[in-house]
Structure formats: structure tokens, C-alpha cells
Structure 1
Amino acid sequence: MPTSKNFDRLLKLMKERNEDGFKQMLRSLSPSQRLDVLKEQGDQKITLLKYAAARGFTEIIKVVITLLPESELYNILAIQDDNGNTLLSVAACYGSTDIVKLIANAVPTAVLYSLIRIQNKIGDTPLRRGLVEEKTETAKYILECLPASDMSKVISIPNNKGHTVLSRVAQFGLMDVLKLCVDIIPPAQLFSKVLVADDDGDTAIHCAAYGNQSEAAVYLLDKLTKNQVKEILEIRNKEGYTPIEYAKSEDHNDFATTANDYLNNRKIFLKGFAATLEANSIKKLTWPITDEDIVEKYLNESDVKTDIINLPLRSSTQPNTEDMYNCKEKYYQMTSPIRGRCLIINNRDFEVPSTPDQVKLDKRKGSDVDVANIVNVFTQLSFICEVHTNLTNRPDSLGFFTEDSPSGAGATVNDIKQKSDPFPGDHLSTDDLFLLKASFLSE
């Protein structure tokens, strides 16, 4: 189908890399002419915007989005070429994160959700297209563009061969993207997502086996319960292989050994998480037992999966978050070198009732692991943490009172500060204080 003179002139200016000329001509057109030319499709049904995205002309796309009425944005951005690719898909394919940002910031969340869900002729969404082309930074940005509840659905969209985002990142060991996906997917749904099989019957763990990506497989398995791990490692694909057998058939013996060891003894990997905690200075705290003992003890007490989180905190890329951070008049600042103090009270063990009317409380199994997670997160957020275990309601429980007043009678504020300030130093030099109590609700 022949194109208009306006389309041909604008395309010529773009091919000559004359961005200023393109923008000047586009602005000179009437709104209706501008809309018509942006809807036109040249060879292979490619629009002017897609030519611009393929060549990295971010400023051209910025001007176009600015000039378009909001009511027409979706209609223009959703146009698909011969291969079914939209502007967002082309930008993801070329790793043009700036163009993806322009689109994400120009449309409402509901419209963006619709755009991110559009699949091309082989069934790939823009997110999966970016991953196929190894544009991981762009893919990571797309993952953070939507609320987790919406993005979790996008992650699960299969292409024409049943391949999902999760299977792709597992097969190629894209750990940063995999961790983002796992953070986004609700924990209760993760097992069902990992179970999804493609047309060959391969689950995400089969895909990791095919790619010899034992780290990716272990990361996924460690988010599941022991019974779920056993079940998923016994699933056979259409060739009749379990993930471990599939790895062996591809001579990926390292994967097979690692997965088999994990199936038989999950503790060795959880001890690895405890070692990570030690590297992050969690050992500076006065624990009732060592981190490694916490993990082993909890595993012996419960069949429920246990995670000590090594959370790689990252800066937000969302413009509204940056605006909040810089607006000192409206939002509380968190900018001091030591963000604040975090006092954690962990009541794990409880005394035997002394009277019949008192309720007997069981030991809170796994409580130390919960506290380890809390400390790990707050330490990464630059808080000073202090943990106290099994405190009572007696006034000297935190050690605040002097020997002359063991019951607290007659103790002054100065007495308390001189005896034991859990957070010594200038409190005004920090931004925040957290007091967290881990206990039974009735206690």
C-alpha cells in the first residue's frame, strides 16, 4: 500500500538522521494530518515510531508522545507490524530503556498493562522479547513498571510454544531477572508457576537443567517446601526425563549432582544462606545460638520451607519515587548515614504458668529465623539493630535500672541512660526508630 508524501518526507529525514528536521516538520502538520501520518505503515507495516525506536531516536518519540492527544496514545502505541510487534516490543528488542520509560510514563497503568500484554506472532510479549534478545536491563525495567499483581500475570503468559518468562530466565541463568520475578510472584502461586510446562513438557526446572543452570534451579527450589521440591524433581517431560535425567542426557553432570544433593539434603544450601548472613555482619549481634544452628534447629522442628533472606536492595527507577525523595516539605527524609535504630524483641520461649488461670504458651518455632530476616533487611537499610530475646514484663528486663533500684523504684531518666542505653550516641543524627516485637498476640 503506497504511503503519503508526509510519511515519505518524515521517513527520509529520519534515515538522514535529521532529528531536528523531523520534529520541525511534524510540528508543522495539523493535528489530523499528524495523527494520520503516525498511523501509516510502510514496508512490513512498520510505522514511523518503530523506525525511530529501531534507530534509537528517543527525542523523536518524546516529541511525538507530547504532541499526541491522550485519547489516541493507545491506538498509536498498539499498532502491530507484520511480525506482530508494537512500539514497546521494538524498544525492548533493541534495549531502548529510555523509550520504554517514555511510554510507561505517558500512559495510565491500565493502558500500560494492556500494552505489555500484547503478543507478537510467535506469542512473545515485549518483556519476553527483550529477554530473548538479551536486553536484560530493559527487561528489568519493564518488570518494575506495573504493580506486582499485574506483572505476575504478564510473567505467566506463554508464547506459541508454551515458553514463559520464568522458563527463559531459568534456562539462561539470568539471576537478576529471576530474583525480580520471584519477588513479584505471590509466594502461594510460585509453585504453580514453576510447574507450568511448555509444549515439550518442560517445566522451569527442566529448562534450567537444559541450560545447565544449577544456581537458577536451586534458587527456585529453595522457595518451595520439601514436598514441592520432591514433586517437581520427579516430573517427566514428553521425552520421559525428570529434570535430573534431562541434565544427564545433555552431559550436564554438575547440574545433576547439585540437584540430586539438594533433593536429598536441603540443609547444605540453607547453611549457605547462613554464611551469607555472617558476611553481612549479622554475627555482630548477641544471638542465643549461632546462625547455622538456627537453620538446622528450625529444619528439625518443621517441614515448612525456611529462608534467611539475602536481599539485594536496589534504587527505585520510578519518577514518582524520586519526586517523593526530593520533596522535603511533604515527606520525611531518610538521608543520614545511619538511617536509624531498630530494637527487636524476640519472645521465643515462655515460662510455665504458675497459676491455673494462666494460659500455657508453646515455643515459637522458627522465631530466630524470622528475626534474622528482619535484621538482614534493616542492616541493608543502614539501621543499627539490637536484638533482645525472651524479655519479661519486669521493669529491669532490658537492664535499664541501677543496682540500687532493681525493681525500678526511684529510677530516674538519667539512671536509665547511665545504666544501659540500647542505642548510644546522638539520636538527633538519625532519621527513624523502629521497635519490633515478635511474640504471640495474647502475650
Structure 2
Amino acid sequence: MAITDINEFAHLTDADIEALGRELDAIRRDVEESRGVRDARYIRGVIRLQRSLELGARATLFGSRRRPAWVVGTAMLSLAKIIENMELGHNVTHGQWDWMNDPEIHSTTWEWDMTGPSEHWKRAHNYSHHTYTNIVGMDDDVGFGILRMTRDEKWRPINLLQPIANVILAAGFEWGIALHDLTAQKQLEGVDRFALTSGPNRQFAVKIVRQVGKDFVLFPALTGRAWKHTLAANATANLVRNLWAYAVIFCGHFPDGAEKFTIEQFETENRAQWYLRQMLGSANIDAGPVMAFMTGNLSYQIEHHLFPDLPSNRYAEIAVRVRELCDKYDLPYTTGPLSKQYLLALRTIHKLALPDRFLRRTSDDAPETSSEHKFRLSGSRIAEALRIDAETGRRSGLMSALRAHAEARVERRRKRRT
């Protein structure tokens, strides 16, 4: 099962977790107090870059029907859409730049270049996902309602189709997110999900007309006889953006080490434990400056979940301090190359498509789902190792490893308290 007692899973006392919370609060204060000109210059520069790329792409596509020009224009348009989605749309609507009081770069006014309305996304993502991160039964982003990503969710025959559903979700990620957010908005407003004329449906319809009309009617029409080339370029750019966004999101939420939690854990959770849940429930991507920028700095998913409304350009410096805290409190800092993180998530998708009887690991000690119970299971392993030691007169490798691990943990706690 998922984690029910986060203190036991992390091997931390209440005092340890409260101290961790205070140190993370200090990081937040330091960043908030130092926001200023360089941050504002950064986000305005990103906006100029994105708009220049899109304008250059449109000019290239309008100016020639030759294949090299189409490839260049489509590549530029794909980059523009990725930047708008990841670094602008996602982060601006998180409120990361609201402190600037610029009405054009504000979470209440920004409408992103995606099928779903920003207003729907802010409710489903900013509130539900970031409040109930990875809590099974409360966070609908755990599998987005169509993928079984933890054994805490009962297997159903429809799960056999997960590998196919995953491919469809990746290719049409903006539509999957839009429909997911639409459902959440209907639940929030308490409207019948089958009522075609409901407020959420009308908002969704308006955004579809705007988005589809722009990409697949207006811009192709403006190019006259080259309309097919423009339509193909727009479709390709949307597909590239969808696949990239999907990969980044899955690498941050579903590789091994991104833990899941139970409702029981949430019911007694304080702010410091909320911080700890974000750290344990998220995963980073190893990335340099360019890769980090192309992910909207969501390669720092741990830092984003800790501080979703702090400027994304500050996550790299925050990560240094967060990693130091993980070392200090003997906590995992889950990170890895994008290829590795995605392959781990993909393995979980295919593995959990099968009924549990075909899986070897227990639900408490599986790579994709573990809980504090796995440490209790270790107790029986220790007892068995002691029995073997007594019978053979030799020290087992297991006991040596466990003893070394325990001694290292004691030493780290001693240094922390002194």
C-alpha cells in the first residue's frame, strides 16, 4: 500500500520534521525577499523569445512552400509552443510572477496556447494536485484517471489496454489534460456531467473554437494555396509540444522513488509533513541550463512541488539548498536522466496493466509503490538472518549491510543534533 505514516517511512521524529519545515520556510523567505529586477528581466525576455520564435516560424511558413523552409518553420513553431506551454503558460498561471503586478503577466489574465481553458487547469492542477500531491483517491493526476500507476488502485480488465491508452494520451496530451480539467471543474461547480449547456462545457467549447480555429483554420487560410503545408506544420508542432510536455510530466511524477500516499496520512498532516510529502512524491530530471529551460524548469520537479509559486528561474539555486537538506536529514533526492526516468515510468505503465497475481514484489516494497511497512518486513528478514548466523557461526552479508546502514544513520542524526 502507499505511505500511511510519513514519519516512519522517512525515519524522522516529529522534531526532525518540524526542523526541516523551518529550514524550507527559510528558503521560501529568502527567495521572496530577493525577487526583483533580474527575475522580471528573465520572464520578459522569455516572452520576447517565444513571440519572436513564433513570428519567425509563421513568416518562414508563409514565405515558402519548399521542404527546407517547412522543416525550419515547423521546428521554430514547435519550440515556440513548448516554451509557451512549459515556461510561460504553466508557470505564469501558477502565480509565479504575480508579485510583479503586471496585468499582462499575471495568473488571473494569462490564457495559454492549449485546448483547455486556463481557469479549469488552475483549479484541477494548482489546487487539487499541488494540495493533495500523490494521495491515492484525492489527487486525480495519479494516472490522470486512465492509467493504473500504483497497486493501491484495484486492477480492472480495462487496465490491459494501458499501453495503448498511454500512447494516445501522449499524442493528444493537451486534450487529455483539457478533458481531465473539465471533469474537475464540473465536480467543483456541482453540475451534471451530462448537461451539455453547463458553464464548464460552454467555457470549454469557446476555447476549442478559438484554439482549433487559430491553428487549423485561420493560419492555413492566410497562406492561400500553401494551406496544406501550414496545416501540417501546425499539427506537427502541436504533436511535438504534446509529446514533450507528456514526457516531462511523467518523468517528474511516475519514476521509481516518486512515492504515493494514503488519505490517512493527509488527515493528520501538518505543514512540515506537507513539505516532506512533496519531497518524497516528486522526481527530478538531470538537466543543464538549456534542458531545464525547455522543461519550464520542471526538471526541478521536487523544488517546484515545494514552492510552486516561486519564480521558475530560481529553482536551480533552490535545488542546491534542498539537496543539502536531503543529505542532512537522510532523505532521498530522486533524480536521473530523462531517458532513465521515463523508462521507469513506462515500465510501471506496462507492469501495472497486469493483474497483481502476475507481479513478484509485494505492494509494500515495489519500485513504483512502497510504504513504511517494507521496513517492518525487514524485521522478519533480520530475524531470519540472525537465525542463519547462529546456525552457521558466520556473519551474513545482510546483517553487515543493515548494521552499516544503521550506524551511518545514527552518526548523521548525532551530527544534526549537535
* Shorter-chain TM-score tier: under 0.3
- Greater C-alpha Rg: 1
The TM-score, its normalising length taken from structure 2, stands at 0.24
The TM-score, its normalising length taken from structure 1, stands at 0.23
Where relative contact order (Cα < 8 A, 6+ residues apart) is larger, the structure is 2
- Structure number with the higher helix fraction is 2
